[in-house]
A and B are shown apart, each in its own frame.
Chain A
Amino acid sequence: MREAFLSVLIVTLGAVFGQFAPEFATSENLLNMTRYAVEVGLLSLPMTLLIIAGGIDLSVSAMTALCAVAFGMLWQRGLPLPVAATAAVVGGAALGAVNGAAVSLAHIPPLIVTLATLAFYRGLATGLSGGRAISGFPDEFLAWGDGSFGGVPAQLVVYLVFATLFALFLARTRWGRCVYALGANEAAARLSGLAVVRLKFLLYTTAGATAGVAGLILVARTTRAKAEGSAVGYELDAIAAVVIGGTKIAGGEGGIVGTVLGLALISTLRRGLMMLGPSFPSEVQSVIIGIVLILTVWVDQCLRPWLLRRRGARALVPA
């Protein structure tokens, strides 16, 4: 239902933008648009899991920037690309594990933990790079930023693979069901013998590893590894995609399909407004995206009681 509503909204918006800016509705533009959405898209996947599980991770953008810088520096110091890339992803997992340990073992609220590591990782990235940009990456790596598989942008393929994996994990595995249980009622989940600590740790670590991948894609797209101005504000865009996608911010409900649609809605809005010319600068775009965020959540709330009645007492756990 939520997914259908979002799909209709996206198509309608696309049609409206296509009317006013004919160049918007070309396949070239739409495919190109996805190149700019993939990094936020990747971050929004583990974010969906975390929010369903009653957590949140504000440090994903800082981890993305730090992994990007670390990858660039390792490569510059002579490591082969695949090794440097693997190191960046593993390093990202380690950064995420720090968040996970603080949340699951030390029981510090995730908002506080990741707000702190947001500043910490961002500072580390800036310090490491000394404000310099690393560039000169070889073509076979940069192809992940501007290349394609039979016309489909390379990074979009990466995103779709990840989205499928996350969706399968959430809907089809025992651990996936535990994520919902954890978010619905943590105490009950713990008392039922679910491995709450391990699950939380795993989720934050996954967020870090995914941020590592997003960092690599970011470097490939922008052709350079730099701390300043890299991935700034991506965590908020990712959270917005998750929430617009129908995942309850308090946890317990939600799904990957919604998040993918939420991302599509935000990207369509942003690119569409940009195509309408300089009359919609980025601050106006932010305002409009904010309004859409509130409206979709509100519409969802209004529809929910009606939906519940129709489905009877069945729990609302979308696949």
Chain B
Amino acid sequence: MILLALAALVAVVGCSPSRNGGAGGGAPARAKAAPSGARLRVVLVPKVRGIDYFNAVEKGAREAANELDLELQFDGPTEDNPERQAEIVETWIARRANVIGVACNDPSAIAPVLKKARMAGIHVITFDADSTKEAREFFVNQAPADAIGTTLVDVMAKEAGEDAKTAIITSTLEAPNQNTWIKHMRERIKTKYPKMSIVTVEPSQENQQKAAAATQSVLKSHPEVTGFFAITSEAFPGTAGAVKEAGKAGKVAVTGLSTPKSMKEYVKNGTVKTIVLWNPVDLGYLTMHAGKALIDGNLKPGVKSIKAGRLGECKIRGDEVLLGDPVQFTKDNIDKFDF
């Protein structure tokens, strides 16, 4: 049986299939989409459906869909699974979406099906998490690294003074996102707050307990530290908890990146004054406007900005649409956000 199976495999491998199957190959064919008269159909595919973060994205997308008179389909996998996500995109290619926007679970795994969508004449954008560059036309970037770095440092200067001695609790020392942010933080400190310093950078492996332990050891070994940057969503609550437990709440500033919901407790008890993040509602809203601009031809290579309703003019950098400066969540506005 095994021999038979192997023989079959060899036999089939002997001849080889041709690629570029049904799409007709060659130049992408526009115009298959859009039955005229009907509303234009935009499909947004989140990483996972039904979690607070992407519910917030959907809320913003619906708002924009109503403004722009677009049909919005918000359809994603119920678990974080790139294979399921690819299959969902596949069905929307068959159903002739005008624009497909994807928050990619896995940048390389989703790329082939996105390319297929483009071959079928569908506009493809990514938001929240990018795919490979050639798989999509534009990426709606919710958090340009320089804006994140700058905002974090500005918040620290406000809360712990322009001469703050700070420690960074990061994810791992190799993490690309975090390292880019740290680079931009150092640049901001150098140009704007020369008296501020970063005493140490400690890893926390995306783990709350480890972040808390790292914070405690920094408090002991570097008692001069007056502020913490906790720059992962797991590290932030861990660090805030450790500072509170050490009785330093209000004396040592803690800021960083996380969702308002997970930090609400620490904002209410005064350990944390400001959380830095983007607004996912605005991200969904902007993604819809970017989709509409693609259809209308207002978003194409070389364009410097697009109009995005209540967000005003949004900048384009290369092939990325920028959401703009991060949002600061404080005790005054935190109750308005449910993610």
List the interface of chain A (C-beta within 8 A of B). Answer: 21, 23-24, 26, 28-29, 31-32, 36, 82, 85-86, 89, 93, 133, 135, 139-140, 142-149, 151, 153-154, 157-158, 161-162, 165, 169, 175, 202, 205-206, 209-210, 213, 222-224, 226, 229-230, 232, 271, 274-275, 277-278, 281-283
Contacts and interface: CB of A to CB of B under 8 A. Distances in A.
Q: Considering the complex of A and B, which 10 residue pairs feature the smallest CB-CB distances, nearest first?
A: A147-B17, A154-B17, A278-B75, A148-B21, A147-B19, A29-B94, A143-B19, A274-B91, A143-B17, A206-B1
A226 B84 CA distance: 15
Contact of A274 (B8, B80, B88, B112): B88
A222 B19 contact: no
Contact of B21 (A82, A140, A146, A202): A146
Contacts of A143: 16-19
B314 interface: no
B96 A223 contact: no
Nearest to B82: A229
Main secondary structure of the interface of A (DSSP, over half): helix
Contacts, number: 128
B94 A165 contact: no
Contacts of B109: 133, 222-224, 226
Given A32-B90, A165-B5, A209-B5, A21 B17 contact: no
B309 to A, nearest CB: 24
B308 interface: no
Contact of B75 (A153, A154, A277): A277
B18 A162 contact: no
B212 interface: no
A249 B129 CA distance: 44
Given A143-B19, A146-B112, A26 B83 contact: no
B177 interface: no
Contacts of A162: 5, 8
A28 B116 CA distance: 13
Given A28-B94, A143-B16, A202-B1, A89 B108 contact: no
B21 A151 contact: yes
Interface residues of B, number: 46
Contacts of B9: 85, 89, 158, 213
Contact of B17 (A93, A133, A144, A175): A144
Contacts of A140: 16
A149 B87 CA distance: 22
Contacts of A85: 9, 13
A161 B21 contact: no
B19 A133 contact: no
Given A32-B90, A86-B6, A223-B111, 11 more contacts: A146-B19, A147-B16, A162-B8, A165-B4, A165-B5, A222-B86, A274-B88, A274-B91, A277-B75, A281-B50, A281-B75
Contacts of B4: 165, 169
A213 B1 CA distance: 14
Nearest to B74: A278
B94 A275 contact: yes
Contacts of B180: none
B44 to A, nearest CB: 10
Given A165-B8, A278-B75, A283-B78, A93 B16 contact: no
A21 B95 contact: yes
A161 B11 contact: yes
B49 A281 contact: yes
A253 B77 CA distance: 37
Contacts of B81: 229, 232
Centre residue among B2, B84, B116 by max chain A CB count within 10 A:
B2
Contacts of A146: 19, 21, 112, 116
B21 A133 contact: no
B106 interface: yes
10 contacts: A36-B87, A140-B16, A146-B19, A146-B112, A148-B17, A149-B18, A157-B17, A209-B2, A223-B108, A281-B50
Contacts of A223: 108-109, 111-112
Interface in B14-32: 15-22
A282 B108 contact: no
Contacts of A278: 49, 73-76
B38 interface: no
Nearest to A281: B78
Given A146-B21, A169-B4, A223-B109, A282 B77 contact: yes
Given A23-B94, A222-B109, A149 B15 contact: yes
A31 B17 CA distance: 15
B12 interface: yes
A239 to B, nearest CB: 19
A133 B22 contact: no
Nearest to B93: A32
A274 B87 contact: yes
A205 B2 contact: yes
B5 A206 contact: yes
Contacts of B84: 282
Nearest to A147: B17
B191 to A, nearest CB: 37
